[in-house]
Chain A
Amino acid sequence: MSDTAPATFRAATDESPLFRIVLTVIVLSLLVLLLFAPLVAVFYEALRKGWVTAVTSLADPEALAAIRLTLTVAAIAVPLNAMFGIAAAWLITKYDFRGKALLITLIDLPFSVSPVVVGLCIVLTFGANTWIGALLVQAGHPVVFALPGIVLASMIVTFPFVARELIPVMIEQGRAEEEAALTLGASGWRTFRTVTLPNIRWALLYGVLLCNARAMGEFGAVSVVSGKIRGQTATMPITIEMLYNEYLSVAAFALAAVLAFLAFVTLGLKTFLEIRHADALAAARRH
C-alpha cells in the first residue's frame, strides 16, 4: 500500500516537521545552556589571566596533592566497585533466593540517599568516638579524616553504577551460554572468563566509566569524612571549593578544568573503544 500512497502522507510514527523543529531547538538550547556554556565558562575563567598563571596555580603543591589524591581514590574505589558490581549482578541474575528484591533495593540505596548522609553515616560508624573507630585509630589506621574514609565514601556513593548497568544485560542473556560452556567441560572460572565476561564487557565498561566519573567528582560524602586537610585529605572537588571561597578564582577554575578534562578523557576513551570494536559490538547485539 505504501508504494501507491502519495508522498505527502506521513508514517504513523512521524511527527509534523514544525513539531520536530521546535523539539530539536528546545533540546539543543537546554544542552547549550546547561552543559556547554558552563564548561566553556570553566575553561575561560581558568585561562583568563593566561596559560602561565593557570599552569603555575596547578603546580602548587596543594593542587598537585589534590590531583594525586583524587586519582588514588578512583584507582582504589573503581576496581573494587567493578568487582562488587559483577558479584552483585551475578548473584541477582543467576540465582533465585529469598530477599532478592530487598537486595536490589539496597543496591539502589546510594542513589536515593543524599551523599552528605552517607558521609555522616561513615563518621558515626568509624569516627574516633566510636569503639570501632577508636580501635582503628589505636592500630594506626584512622578511617575518618583519612584516605580509607574518602575511599569508603566514594565507593558507597558509586556502588550502584556497575551493578545497574550489568543486571539488565545479564537478565536478557540468561544462563544458557554459561551452561553450554560447562557441558563442554569448562570450569566455572573459565566459563566466567571466556563466556560471561566477553558478553557483559560493554555494559561493564560503561558502568566502570560512569563509576569513575562520579568517584572523581564526588563532593558531598567526601567533604564530611575528609576533614578537608589541605594537601592531605582534600580531593580535587574539595580543593576547588576551598580555592573558590578564598577568591582564588584562576586556581579554582584551573583545577576545575583539569577535573572536566579527566571526564572528557573518560568519555573519549569510551567512544574510541566503541569505534574500534564496532563490529564485535554489532555482532553481539544482533544475535
Chain B
Amino acid sequence: MHIDIDEISKRFGTTAALNPVSLAIPSGALVALLGPSGSGKTTLLRILGGLEFPTSGRVLFDGQDATGLSVQDRRAGFVFQSYALFRHMTVFDNIAYGLNARPRATRPQRAEIARRVTKLLELIQLPDIGARYPSQLSGGQRQRVALARALAIEPRMLLLDEPFGALDAKVRKELRQGLRDIHDTTGLTTIFVTHDQEEAMELADLVVVMSMGRIEQIGKPQDIRAKPASAFVREFICT
C-alpha cells in the first residue's frame, strides 16, 4: 500500500510538534524516519497509525483519504518503543489478541487462530515460547513477539517506534536483519522511527531526515550521504 502524507501539521497546545510536512511513500518500501528527539518523527508515525490526529493536512492510503479513519480501522501493525506486550497474557494470547478482537463474523475459528499464531512464532524463529509470559523473555525476544503480534492482524502497513532502542548493540544488529527479512517476506510498506543514523542508513530503502518538526531531506541512504541537503543533515549524518 502506498502512503501519501499531504501537508500534515500537529500542535500540542501552543507548541508545534509538526510543521506542515509532505511525504510520498511507495508501496512496499522500507522507510526510516530519522532525527533527534523532539524532531516530530514519533508524532508523524503516531498520526499514520491513528493514535494522534493531525491539526491540519491529509493522510492518503492507496489514494484514499484516511485522515479521519479510526485507529482500529487503519489496520496498521504498530510496534511500540517498549513493545507494550500484555503482561498478564502468554505470548500465544498476545499474538492472538488482534484476531480474537475481530467481530464474530470475521473472526477465524479457534484452530485457525492457533495455526496462524504457530506460523508467526516460526516466522520470528521462536517456535517454543507460546506458553511463556512477557516477563520471562529477553529484550530481543520481546521485540520479536511484538512484531509477530502486529503482523497477526494482517496489517496494511508496519509502523515501528524505535524498534531497537531498548536493546544492546549485539542483539540490535541481529534484529535489524530480522526486520529486513520480515519486510522482504511480507512485502509490507514498513516505516520505522530511529535516532540512530547508522541504523537508518543500513536498513532503510528511503531515509527521511527530520528536525524540529520539519523534513530536512528525503532520499536513498547513499544519496543523503553523498549530498546532504542542509548543514543540519551533514552534521547529523557525520556524527
Contacts and interface: CB of A to CB of B under 8 A. Distances in A.
B19 interface: no
Contacts of B72: 182-183, 185-187
B134 interface: yes
How many B residues touch the partner, as a band?
20 to 34
B104 interface: no
Contacts of B71: 182-183
A168 interface: no
Interface in A64-79: none
Contacts of A187: 72, 101
B135 A186 contact: no
A91 interface: no
Interface stretch (A13-21, A110-118, A254-262, A279-287): A279-287
Interface stretch (B78-86, B184-192, B196-204, B222-230): B78-86
Given A176-B82, A179-B80, A283-B135, A185 B88 contact: no
A183 B49 contact: yes
Contacts of A26: none
A287 B136 CA distance: 8
A184 interface: yes
How many A residues touch the partner, as a band?
20 to 34
B113 interface: no
A268 interface: no
Given A287-B134, A287-B135, A186 B87 contact: no
B158 to A, nearest CB: 11
Interface in A243-287: 280, 283-284, 286-287
B61 interface: no
Nearest to A283: B133
A199 interface: yes
A27 interface: no
Nearest to A191: B101
Contact of B87 (A179, A181, A182, A199): A199
Nearest to B159: A183
Interface string B97-121: 1100110000000000000000000
A199 B150 CA distance: 21
B76 interface: yes
Given A176-B80, A195-B86, A287-B87, A184 B51 contact: no
A184 B101 contact: yes
Contacts of A190: 101
Contacts of A286: 135
A180 interface: yes
A177 interface: yes
Interface string A132-173: 000000000000000000000000000000000000000000
B153 interface: yes
A21 B25 CA distance: 70
A184 B51 CA distance: 12
Interface in B43-84: 49-51, 71-72, 74-78, 80-82, 84
Contacts of B135: 283-284, 286-287
B51 A179 contact: yes
B149 interface: yes
Interface of A: 176-177, 179-187, 190, 194-195, 198-199, 280, 283-284, 286-287
10 contacts: A179-B78, A179-B80, A180-B80, A181-B101, A182-B72, A183-B50, A184-B101, A184-B149, A184-B153, A280-B88
Q: Which 9 A-B pairs have the closest CB atoms?
A: A184-B98, A176-B84, A183-B78, A287-B135, A186-B101, A287-B87, A180-B84, A286-B135, A198-B88
